[in-house]
Amino acid sequence: METSTVVDPLRISVIGTGYLGATHAVCMAELGFEVIGVDVDVDKIERLGAGEVPFFEPGLEELLRKNLESGRLSFTTSLADAAGMADVHFVCVGTPQHPDSNAADMRYVDAAISGLIAGGLRPDSLVVGKSTVPTGTAARLADRLAADAPGVELAWNPEFLREGFAVDDTLRPDRLVFGVGADSTAEATLRRVYASVIDAGTPVVVVDYPTAELVKVAANSFLATKISFINAMAEVCEATGADVTHLAKAISYDARIGGRFLNAGLGFGGGCLPKDIRAFQARATELGVGKALAFLAEVDAINIRRRTHTVALTTRLLGGTTAGRKVAILGGAFKPNSDDIRDSPALAVADALHRAGAAVAVYDPAAIPNARRLYPHLTYADNAVDAASGAHIVLHLTEWTEFRELDPAALNQVVSTRIIVDGRNTLNPARWRTAGWSYHALGRP
């Protein structure tokens, strides 16, 4: 990927080198800045420093190696090094669901700020939050910086990355949101950081802290609601004999609705949408406006119900029992072009079928190493044909291109029974039926 870069004397640190942080660090170097990435995970830092991305993201490793070779990008475990070196510090640590509630766990954000302060932030530097946080966090952290690191400003610049498209979403985003305090110079600094991106036509929305914090969770809540809506329609279609794919196409022509995220199927997963809508509800309840977001509980419930429905459908197609039956699962990542298995619907179904007595074999082009660590009791295959060998039913649960293009005839001679469940509604029903398969999909007759 060719990117126009202009070397700028501003130096940048990125705190946290997980999915968001590693991508941001690499892309900031690609834009021409001297960048240092920081993480407490020694193995992760060593791998990044050696030019190896610890997760699957198309195009990122190529840019990582390019910018390591240029000398613009480096990695360290020392927050003190970052605090003393950089002019702008991007906080990109995780905010997972709290282990004891639906709220966001803020320990990593707070630890990053504490580490920067202890490391000796320069008075003229800027701390920029990119992590998804509950509203009120930025104001709290700004007060802390004012007390413990006078002269250091805070801004909030939420991320909107799509896994599988993260490099493009960073270098060519559809918008930039800058949350800044009153009488702040942070906007000017952020415009300098993103100058080439802005010059390319990306719109900038400058807002206060609470609005910046709400933008990401509001966007994710809307997308989750749209996905759960069409999956609710799939339930109705199954009860009436209607076809949800035709229904979605028909309503998508209404410009007010559109067709994006109207693909009925197994539902959403990953590290953002599920935990973000739960944390949003939890924070709204704390603020006394929980009723305003009560609908998100049903959005979440509809999404989870698609998994149990898929297990029930599989059981019915197997004659009422899964005990002793072999089930081939095509897909492990929560979405294609990713090895992320966090809250993966595909693996949730695989695990439920295993617990019900089925012999489950899983194949995914990228996610098998991660899946093995979390679900060591499942069996894993090296390819789709091996997964389907001896299978009484095949479940298509992650919409990789490889699976959409799979020739059903390639499986005909290896399966025990030609039954397929299209959990993503992306296979060609006529193609599979012509090859002799009993084809079933969610929300379709």
DSSP letters for 266-323? S---SSSHHHHHHHHHHHHHHTT-GGGGTHHHHHHHHHHHHHHHHHHHHHHHTTS--T
Phi, psi dihedrals of residue 385, rounded to the nearest 5°: -65, -45
CA pair distance 139, 129, nearest whole angstrom? 11
Strands (DSSP E) contained in 123-259 are 126-129, 153-156, 176-180, 204-207
| Distant-in-sequence, close-in-space partners of 152: CB < 8 Å, separation ≥ 6 | 121, 122, 123, 124, 125, 126, 127, 145
Strands (DSSP E) contained in 93-175 are 126-129, 153-156
CA pair distance 445, 441, nearest whole angstrom? 8
| Distant-in-sequence, close-in-space partners of 113: CB < 8 Å, separation ≥ 6 | 91, 127, 141, 144, 145
Of the candidates 269, 267, 254, 255, which has an alpha carbon nearest to the alpha carbon of residue 227?
267
Token pair listed for 140: 């709290």
**Cβ neighbours, 10 Å, residue 52:** 12
Q: Give the CA distances from residue 326 to residues 221, 321, 434, in Å, rounded to whole numbers and listed in that order.
A: 37, 11, 23
What residues act catalytically?
A: 272
Do 414 and 326 touch, CB atoms closer than 8 A? Answer: no
